[in-house]
Structures are given as C-alpha cells and as structure tokens.
Amino acid sequence: MSQEIDKKETDKKEVGEVTTIYNEFETWTWTVNMGDKTIHAKRMAGFFRTFKDRAQLALWLPFFLFPYLRWNDKQAILFDIDHRQFHFFSLTVLPQDIWMLSLLLLVAAMTLFAVTSVASRVWCGYFCFQTAWTDWFTWIEEKIEGNPTARRKLETAPWDADKIKKKGLKHLAWASIALLTGISFSIWFVDAFDYWNNLIHLQLPVVGWVVLVMFFLGTYILAGLLREQTCIWLCPYARIQAVMNDSQTILPTYDYTRGEPRGKIRRGGEVVAPQGDCIDCFQCVQVCPTGVDIRNGQQLGCITCGLCIDACDSIMDKIAKPRGLIRYASLDELSGKPAKKMYQHPRTLVYIGIIMLALSGIVWGLTHLGSMTLKIMHERQPLFVSMSDGSIQNKYDFKLLNKTDKDFQVKVSAEGGVKDQIILGAENNPMIHHGRGTSFTIFVKAPGKFAEKDVTPIKFRVESMDDPTVFAEYTSQFYAPKK
Amino acid sequence: MSDKHSAGDVPTTGHVWDDDLGDYINQPPKWWMLGLTASAIWVVVYWIFYPSIPVSNANGFFKGVGGWTAINEMEADKSVVDEVRGKYEAKLKDMTPAAILADSELTEYVTRSGKVLFGDNCAACHGQNGVGTHDKQGLFAPILNDDDWLYGGKIDDIHTTIVGGRQGMMMAHKDMLSEAEVDTLANAVAAGKPTSTPLFAEKGCTACHGEDGKGMQAMGSANLTDGVWRFDSSVEGIKYTIKNGVNAGTPETRVAVMPAFQGAKLSDAEIKKLAVYVYKFGGGQAEAAPVVVDAAATSEVPAASAVQAAQ
C-alpha cells in the first residue's frame, strides 16, 4: 500500500518533468521526409540502441580488421583477383569452383528474405552498411556539433569561426572514416601490408586509386550527405523487402488501439477528454534516423531499427504507463487476430528450404573440391588421321588444373577405346604446376582393323606420380573412319 | 498548373494554354546547372585535346594538342603482346628447328602461336590444321598430320621443304604402256603390293619408287605399299596418275608444286616456327625413333630425357 502511494508521488513529479519535453519540440515541426531537410535525430539510450550498436560493430569491425589476419605467412582471407584465387585460411578456391559463390549469394539472399518475412527489415535496422555508417557519422556529428537542437541552430547560423571550426572538424572526421573504408575494402583483394606500403609511397596501381577514390566518395556522400535518403530513394532492397512483409511479420508498430486518441499530457494530470496512452510527445519521431512518424503505421521509410521503441518506453516509464505502446508486433496481433505459429508461415519455410538446399550444395562442393581437374578437348580438324601403317591416330588437348600446393608429374592412362591402342605424348610424365592450368597434347594411335566403330568412348585417367590418390578422369571419344 | 496542387508563389511566363496550363519560370536546380557548365567546359577541352575538327587543308589536319591517334593506341596495345612474345622470339631466332623442338617451352609457344602463321601461308593448300585439300582429281596438297612424308618427316626435312619448296615429278606413261599393263600395275599398287607384278620392275617403276616400291625420300617418290595416298587411292585414280604422270608438262598431268618460302615470303624465324608447328601436328619423325616431345614439361626437363624416352 505504502509502495503505491510512493509511486503516485513520483508520478506527479515525473509528469511535471515530462511536460518539458514539449518545449524542445516547439522549435521544430514534423513533415513528411522529402529530403529537403537534414534529419537531426536525437540519440536515446535503450535496449535497441545498445543492440544496434553491438550488431553494427559485430558485423563491420571484422570488415576493418580481418584483412590483417595472417595464416602461413599469407593473408588469411584474400580474394586474389590478380592471380584468380580465393584464399580462406588453408583453403584455396580457384575460379572453377566459384559456382559455390553463387550458392553463397543465394543463401545470403534467402536469409534476408526469411528474416524479413519473420521480423521485417532486421538487416536495414541493425546491420546494413548504409545505416551503420550513417549512424557512426551522425554520432561524430553529435560529438562535434552537439545535440539536434544545437545542430539545427548551427545550420542557420552565420559562417563564423566557431561554425567553420565545427563543420571542418566534422567533415575531416567523416573523410577519415571514408578513407579508412576505402582502404579496408581494397585490402580484401590485395595483400593488406603491401597495399599500405604502396599507398604510403603513392604507388598504387591505377585501378587501386580508382577503387579508393570511388569508395571514399561513395562513403562520404552516402553516409555523410545522403543518409536516410539512400534508404528511401536509392536502395532496391528497401522496396523488395516491403513485399516480404505480411500480417504475420513482426515489426516496430504503434499500438493505435492503446494509444489513440492521443493527447498532450497536462500539468497536474487533469483530463479534459478521453485520452489514450500516447501523449503526443513526438519522442518517437525525434529519435527516428529516417524521419518517419511510426504512429502513421507501416511505411517505406521505416528501417525497423527499434529506436522509437526505446524512446517510447522511456516516456511510458516516466508517466507510469506500461511499456510497449510502440513495440515489435504483427498486424494480426494489433487487429486482435490470433497469432499464428511459425510453422504456419509457409513462405518462411520455403525460404528456409532453399537455404538448406544451397547450404548442402556448398558443403558438397567444399568436400568435393578435389586436388586436380581434367578437361580434354578432342581435336576437331581432323577428327582422326590415317597413318601409313593403316592405324588411326586421334589428337587430344589435355587441360589440367592442379589445386594442391605442390607441383607434380603425372602419368596418363586410358580405359576403353580401341584394342591395342597406344598413348603417345606423356612419356616424360608432364609436370603439372600448382595454382594454374597446364596443358599438353596426347595422341592415341590404334590399329585400323580394330577401330570398328566410328566413335568409341575412351576414358582417360591422369594420376600424380607422387600420390595415386591425386587423380582426375575424363571421358572423351576416339574417332575412326566410317566402315 | 493543376487545380489540385497549389502553385505557391512561383510566377509563370504568363502565357496560358488550354485554360489552365502555364509554364513556371523556376531556375533549373543548381546541380543541374553545374553539370551543364561542366559539360560545356568538357567539350571545349575535348575539342582542343583530340583531333576533333573534321577539316583538312594543304598542311594536314588539326591533330589536337594531345597527339592522340587510333593507330598509336593500337600500336601501344600491340606492344604489350609483342613484349610477351618478345622473349620467346628473341630466343628462337638463333636456334635450329631441332633445338626449338627440344625446348618444350618454346615448342609450346610455337604450337600455341603458330596458327595464324600457318593459316596465312599454308592453309590455302594444306587446309586448316594441315588436313589437306582436295580438287576434282583427288588430294590437291598433302595431309600434314599423318606420318607419311614424301620428302622426309624429320624436323630438318620439313624445314628444308618450307625453305626451298618442292616439285613432284613423274613421267606420263600413256604412250609407253598398254591399257592392259596400266590396268595390271594400277591394281597391284591399289592392293599395296606393287612388286607382285613383274611389270613393276620391267617397266622401270623401280627407278624412282625403289625395288621394294617404298619410294625414295631423296626424289620425293611415293611409298606405294602403305595406306596413305598422295592423290587418289582408287584404281581409276592410280591409272590416271600412271598415264598422265605428275608435273609432266601436259594439260592432263597431275600438279604437285609447293613454292619456296624463303626470302620474300617468310623470315627465317617464321620458317623455323612453321617447321616446328607442322612437326607437332602429330606426324613428325624423331631422329632416332618415333617420339613425341612432351609439350607441357617445363624447361627444367632436359632434352636428354626426351631422347631417353625415345630409346
């Protein structure tokens, strides 16, 4: 009982404070974000703020740091475009196996789809580089120029020394991040330490400079100047993802049944009309990094970052109302329909099925990389040559790819084909170099009397001299004159 | 000027079409004006830098201050290719064809790059990849990828053939032999057993084709016992050859002439490359025994091992 009284006491005090939040709103009115005004969002602490901070860092800190990892004296993860190889610790993937990349991209796309169908734009809100970099850029902006009110004031202020200093400092900090972003991107594709060395000595190749400048400008313009306009007007995923939401998808939603009719809270708590829980404090709007009013319902501008939930919850705490006026909820839940189970969401199950298929493809691919691949091209002109002793000779172009990390010699044998055939051309056991293709010519000569069919299948086997488990097979044809 | 959307304070040109259509006199956006200005500057710079004025006079034409020409750009691109080829070309310039053949790296280079050279100079008669060409009388130029060679299939023989050309030679026998004799000889030759008839020696065929009918490399006379034919393997075709000869000076005679390629036609290095290229078609004969020098082995594999393998 005494606790309740205490609570009421605090309520009154809090209500008095809450009304001051209207003051900060007076200088600013909300309009639809048309891109004509810079959004200066307020930063408020809370669960989703913390989650967003950590999620962004967890995904993107590795982007900056991983290239410096070394493994066996080489860069651990390197998309070596120059040498057409992809290094991942001990694993080397050559372009022939790049089909797995398409499966990986499929997994990524389907994961995006599945997550979006369950919980809306999770990627946009907590992980996307656009929103992450924008978040860091505006954090710097706040540190240098002050809170949103101060920033709006500074924008209209005359260009005095203070403004020049603040703006200059901010743009310098932005440019530094943009530059670091460009460098960090580049060093996924060339050796990180070589790159820094070349960069410091201004000896990057032209393509290196182009990439760096493009990423510098791209980061600076997209995260510094365009910000949420990118999400609203440029980003295709924003549009694609909107289609994946349905009434079962949970996303940050304003509970209109509870909040409406909204009305300003009054000093002393006097009530002049029936009023919902929304006190029209505009905190949810002020914290929104894309400048939407979540109370207008689902909309394209919303990246579902949950910052409005933090803002609303903090207000609900202050006016002693239960949290969750804005919360992760589905449209079904808001309209009072019974919530369906996850397995009743067939679309998500289809996405998960595709993910599983693609993943098993990748696993199969990685476990069946093999150590050597063989492609054989039969000479087409002429298909066969009649030799003076009446035998028939066929010419084959062997193309081998050694995927191990050692050079080795090979022997060539064949199964099938024509009786008494001999294989010419591999007597010296050709050396197969690692990490690149090697080709050589093989002739197969067989007595004409045994070449009964005009086309006879012949299966070649190329085997390492050092290790018989390293081999490759390919079935080609032996051509002979029609009889 | 829609009724639904207020025009605000923006003034119009004053002219009104169709009752309610007017033109705003808004300034174009600044970014657009900047783009337009930049484009204009770009045009001026471009016209000065590149040969862009399509007018010529007695002194030539306007070349642009940049000195760019399409030919120069092509030459620059070509020099990249020449640089890659240069090290091989410099190496094989002073080598004998046999030495090139012994060097697997150079052999690989020649077999990969020789296609154009062969296509430009040889394929007209010998066909692409040396498959031979036919005219209505039979095979017009020999197949180069089998192992039957009139003038020898060793690398130096092939080289000599390209350098000096070859001219086949066989008398026309239509006035010397009766129809029955021609018939007997042609059937024996078609069966691959020319010596089975005494006529072969009596009529002097052995003078060129040898006692055993296997031909003589020095004269370029054909081996009549094997399965490869210079002109036509049918009995009728063989009879035609016996009657009319080869390059015998009559209009009916078979023609077998290969021009010399040394001098004006090809450089020494090109001839050497072609000799190796032709050798590698699959019919080239090694000095000792048949050996196909491995094309993929690196230069570390010494030529000696190729000889070993041959033995």
B180-195: per-residue pLDDT in tens? 999 999 999 999 899 9
The residues with which A391 forms a beta bridge, in sequence order, are A447
A interface test, pick of B229, B292, B298 with most A CB neighbours within 10 Å: B292
Query: B9: distance to nearest CA of chain A, Å?
Result: 18
* Structure token digits, residue A157: 């202020």
* pLDDT per position as a tens digit, A46-96: 999 999 999 999 999 999 999 999 988 889 999 998 888 888 888 888 887
CATH 2.60.40.10 boundaries in chain A:
372-479
Q: Provide ipTM, 2 decimals.
A: 0.71
Residue spans of alpha helices (H) in A157-279: 161-186, 192-200, 206-219, 228-229, 236-244, 256-259
Q: Which residues of A touch B280 (CB under 8 A)?
A: 441
Q: Which residues of B touch A379 (CB under 8 A)?
A: 129
CA distance B235 to B192: 11
Q: Which homologous superfamily is B169-255 in?
A: Cytochrome c-like domain (1.10.760.10)
Q: Which residues of B touch A385 (CB under 8 A)?
A: 143, 145-146, 282-283
* pLDDT per position as a tens digit, A295-339: 988 888 899 999 999 999 999 999 888 999 999 999 888 888 887
* Structure token digits, residue B120: 């430009």
Nearest Cα residue in chain A from B305: A428
Nearest Cα residue in chain B from A386: B146
Residue A106: what pLDDT? 93
B interface test, pick of A441, A462, A465, A479 with most B CB neighbours within 10 Å: A441
Of A474, A447, A446, which Cα lies nearest the Cα of A460?
A: A474
Residue A18: what pLDDT? 54
Average pLDDT of the residues in B109-127: 92
Nearest Cα residue in chain A from B307: A428
Residue A15: what pLDDT? 47
Of A53, A361, A119, A112, which Cα lies nearest the Cα of A236?
A: A112
A interface test, pick of B108, B143, B147 with most A CB neighbours within 10 Å: B147
Query: A405: distance to nearest CA of chain B, Å?
Result: 17
Say if B145 is an interface residue toward chain A (CB within 8 Å).
Answer: yes
Q: Which residues of B touch A441 (CB under 8 A)?
A: 111, 280, 292, 295
Q: Which residues of B touch A390 (CB under 8 A)?
A: 226-227
CA distance B19 to B2: 11
Alpha-carbon distance values, B234 to A442, B62, B106, B187 (Å): 32, 68, 42, 9
CA distance A244 to A246: 6
Residue spans of alpha helices (H) in B62-217: 70-93, 97-102, 104-121, 123-126, 155-164, 179-190, 199-202, 206-209
Q: Do A425 and B292 touch (CB under 8 A)?
A: yes
Residue B8: what pLDDT? 67
* Structure token digits, residue A447: 């007595």
pLDDT at B100 over 90: yes
Domain residue ranges in chain B: 12-68, 88-166+259-288, 169-255
Contact yes or no for B277/B118 (Cβ under 8 A): yes
Average pLDDT of the residues in B200-213: 91
Give the sign of the dihedral formed by CA B198, CA B201, CA B205, CA B208: positive
Residue A10: what pLDDT? 44
Query: A443: distance to nearest CA of chain B, Å?
Result: 7
Q: Which residue type occupies A124?
A: C
CA distance A290 to B169: 93
Average pLDDT of the residues in B89-114: 90
Q: Do B145 and A382 touch (CB under 8 A)?
A: yes
CA distance A470 to B303: 27
Q: Which residues of B touch A424 (CB under 8 A)?
A: 290, 292
Give residue B310's pLDDT band: very low, low, confident or very high (50, 70, 90): very low
Mutual angle of helices A47-65 and A161-186, in 10-degree steps: 60
CA distance A65 to A104: 22
Q: Count of CB atoms within 10 A of residue A405's CB? A: 11
Of A401, A394, A411, which Cα lies nearest the Cα of A374?
A: A401
**Which of B131, B228, B280 lies closest to A382 in CB terms?**
B131
Q: Considering only CB atoms, which residues of chain A are within 8 Å of chain B?
A: 379, 381-382, 385-390, 393, 395, 398, 424-433, 438-441, 443, 448
The secondary structure of B274-305 as a DSSP string is HHHHHHTTTT-B-SSS-----SSS-TTS-HHH
* Structure token digits, residue B197: 């008839």
Q: How many residues does chain B have?
A: 311
Q: How far is C-alpha B178 from the chain's CA centre? A: 45
CA distance A25 to A20: 9
Q: Which helix (H) or strand (E) holds B247?
A: none
Residue B105: what pLDDT? 86
Query: A465: distance to nearest CA of chain B, Å?
Result: 14
Q: Which residues of A touch B295 (CB under 8 A)?
A: 425, 430, 439-441
Of A321, A320, A324, A299, which Cα lies nearest the Cα of A310?
A: A324
Q: Which residue type occupies B238?
A: I
The residues with which A70 forms a beta bridge, in sequence order, are A75
State the average pLDDT for chain B.
86
**Which of B131, B290, B298 lies closest to A381 in CB terms?**
B131
Contact yes or no for A385/A418 (Cβ under 8 A): no
Query: A393: distance to nearest CA of chain B, Å?
Result: 8
Query: A445: distance to nearest CA of chain B, Å?
Result: 10
Say if B309 is an interface residue toward chain A (CB within 8 Å).
Answer: yes
Say if B288 is an interface residue toward chain A (CB within 8 Å).
Answer: no
Q: Do A385 and B145 touch (CB under 8 A)?
A: yes
CA distance B99 to B263: 22
Query: B57: distance to nearest CA of chain A, Å?
Result: 39
Q: Which residues of A touch B278 (CB under 8 A)?
A: none
The residues with which A456 forms a beta bridge, in sequence order, are A478
Q: Do A426 and B294 touch (CB under 8 A)?
A: yes
Say if B129 is an interface residue toward chain A (CB within 8 Å).
Answer: yes
Q: Which residue type occupies A67?
A: P
Query: A442: distance to nearest CA of chain B, Å?
Result: 9
Q: Do B280 and A395 touch (CB under 8 A)?
A: no
Nearest Cα residue in chain B from A398: B296
Q: Which homologous superfamily is A372-479 in?
A: Immunoglobulins (2.60.40.10)
pLDDT at B5 over 70: no
Q: Do A387 and B228 touch (CB under 8 A)?
A: yes
3-state helix, strand, coil in chain B (%, to 5): 45, 10, 45
Query: A148: distance to nearest CA of chain B, Å?
Result: 27
Residue A2: what pLDDT? 43
Say if B196 is an interface residue toward chain A (CB within 8 Å).
Answer: no
Q: Which residues of chain A have pLDDT under 50?
A: 1-17, 26
Give residue B283's pLDDT band: very low, low, confident or very high (50, 70, 90): confident
Q: Which helix (H) or strand (E) holds A410?
A: strand A408-416
CA distance B209 to B145: 23
Same fold, B88-166+259-288 and B169-255: yes
Say if B299 is an interface residue toward chain A (CB within 8 Å).
Answer: no
Q: Count of CB atoms within 10 A of residue A316's CB? A: 18
Q: Which residue type occupies A348?
A: T
* Structure token digits, residue B80: 């990249």
User: Domain B88-166+259-288 carries which CATH code?
Assistant: 1.10.760.10
